[in-house]
Structure 1
């Protein structure tokens, strides 16, 4: 089935940044771009009456919006196939449904500053928790440093990005879909791939690592680094053009990923697909990275 890069568009600065990022991603991957606006039926609240001469519902601005943005993107990205669509229903329902048909769904998030992180938003967070395809969250102005693409020339040639792609790796549950996405993103950008793995000392030494003999600590570190290298070896062979940097550090994975995100073109993390009576959730690492990373974040669902 032919897939596309889909952008959720609502006219906010965050969604416009997501649209630009999505257009560049579509160019890099040689895919069409779809701009999607969710049109939810407007129903007056109980007891509310409209003045005489006023229409029963507010004028729909979704179609002019998507076509205007599509036109602007077409000027900046000649040759890119762009489609503007509207979906009837609540944004969560429309976007979650679209994600199932997308190569990647791109959403925007409003920035709040480096100290407080940024607001993912209830709709974006709900889509992230339900989607079973990759979803990328873009923060306005956050990706321009790490993802400097050469101006489009209409030739269809791939552009270059200077910032690395950062992958959060869990050696206890390595996931092929997650690793493949990160390597593919780095290859498309002709950028290096930085693989970050955070590991912990045994619980007995968690409060005071100094109690662990240096040779034992060094041996554990070497063993973890070897395990990471072994897990990545097949992917190095599949993507020989990708330069890989491996980082194994003691401590929380989310902290190391946030630190590594500075100047990155993309951060890739996984989300386990869990179905339970209490609903779905993102997981602590994905949640922390989404709220504090400076770069766009791709969340890849996996079993």
Structure 2
């Protein structure tokens, strides 16, 4: 069986928007969609069976609500569901291992809701070995597309750009491949963004890029970015690529670039530590501040 797109649902507006986005993505990938609801069972003394039954009833209602939203948005998607006992982080990580992609709802600056409470959702993103996409409440199919000629929202127009953050000193095949594939599936333009800082004078050596002015430095960084992307442009020759270098912090550059995008793709380096794993500062910041769906792609 093909690995499905998996989405965690908890009945919140964020998770329902995530379920609809996941259904559209499953259709783009020609994969089945699996809805997962995770719940923790902490019965008080003497209430074990009744508490268990109540939790299962609630889970069934949450899954049915998500199914109805998915069927209305994508009636042809192959759909199945599952309720699992928590801990929620472990349950979602297990689901992610069997998935082509895991999708979760996100509240951005106000945190995560339902069973996706702050540390749980961030723990999933930090520890997952498969890509995770975070989707905000209110995300609709038309938000992925450019407006129609009359300025109205439409799901029939071309897709907005896919944006990928690229560190030319530590480029990552997994992140770039995910971004190029996402752009190809959407027949969208891919915008590759690299942020750079002028080096401190004391750290410069003869002939280094920091010895020239900002325009020349920008050209040098653009050359590095082009070199990193060339093999992928050759592999995905049907994808239009725009290369952008920005002086300043990576977070600000990606937040600006993602404004009006259909998807932002960022990387997350997995460490060898089994505990205390967390997302890097740029990834952590963009998943709280970017309005469009954010794909976090793990790599080593």
TM-score interval, normalised by the smaller of the two chains: 0.7 to 0.9
Equivalent in the alignment of 2:247: 250
1:78–1:246 CA distance, 2 compared to 1 (3 A): same
How big is each residue's C-alpha offset from its partner over 1:85-117, in whole Å with a ceiling of 9 and x where there is no partner? 111221111001111111110000125xxxxx3
How big is each residue's C-alpha offset from its partner over 1:52-92, in whole Å with a ceiling of 9 and x where there is no partner? xx935461211232134224422431321001111122111
How big is each residue's C-alpha offset from its partner over 1:3-26, in whole Å with a ceiling of 9 and x where there is no partner? 110000111111001000100111
1:227–1:249 CA distance, 2 compared to 1 (3 A): same
How big is each residue's C-alpha offset from its partner over 1:177-222, in whole Å with a ceiling of 9 and x where there is no partner? 100000111111111111110011112389xxxxx99944333221
Distance between the aligned counterparts of 2:194 and 2:144, measured in 1? 23
Say which SS state the counterpart of residue 38 (structure 1) adopts.
strand
Distance between the aligned counterparts of 2:119 and 2:10, measured in 1? 14
- 2:50 aligns with one of 49, 55, 65: 55
**Is 1:109 equivalent to 2:106 in the alignment?**
yes
Equivalent in the alignment of 2:14: 14
Q: Is the 8 A contact 2:7 2:34 kept in 1?
A: yes
1:301–1:259 CA distance, 2 compared to 1 (3 A): same
Q: CA deviation at 1:160?
A: 5.9
Equivalent in the alignment of 1:3: 3
How big is each residue's C-alpha offset from its partner over 1:103-151, in whole Å with a ceiling of 9 and x where there is no partner? 110000125xxxxx3424221111001101100010112465541399x
Q: Over aligned residue pairs, what C-alpha RMSD do you find?
A: 2.6
Distance between the aligned counterparts of 1:172 and 1:79, measured in 2? 43
Distance between the aligned counterparts of 1:64 and 1:277, measured in 2? 35
Equivalent in the alignment of 2:97: 100
How big is each residue's C-alpha offset from its partner over 1:211-234, in whole Å with a ceiling of 9 and x where there is no partner? x99944333221111111111111
Distance between the aligned counterparts of 2:119 and 2:183, measured in 1? 30
Equivalent in the alignment of 2:24: 24
Size of the aligned set, in residue pairs, is 280
Equivalent in the alignment of 1:119: 111
Q: Is the 8 A contact 1:143 1:294 kept in 2?
A: no
Distance between the aligned counterparts of 1:36 and 1:71, measured in 2? 14
**Is 1:86 equivalent to 2:83 in the alignment?**
yes
Say which SS state the counterpart of residue 182 (structure 2) adopts.
helix
Distance between the aligned counterparts of 2:91 and 2:71, measured in 1? 24
Gaps of 5+ in 1: 112-116, 151-157, 207-211
Distance between the aligned counterparts of 1:215 and 1:283, measured in 2? 31
Say which SS state the counterpart of residue 144 (structure 2) adopts.
coil
Equivalent in the alignment of 1:155: none
Say which is worse superposed, 273-282 or 289-298, in terms of deviation. Answer: 273-282
Which structure carries more helix by proportion? 2
Deviating runs (4+, > 6 A) in structure 1? none
Using the size of structure 2 for normalisation, the TM-score is 0.85
Q: Is the 8 A contact 1:159 1:189 kept in 2?
A: no
Q: Is the 8 A contact 2:191 2:242 kept in 1?
A: yes
1:297–1:91 CA distance, 2 compared to 1 (3 A): same
Using the size of structure 1 for normalisation, the TM-score is 0.85
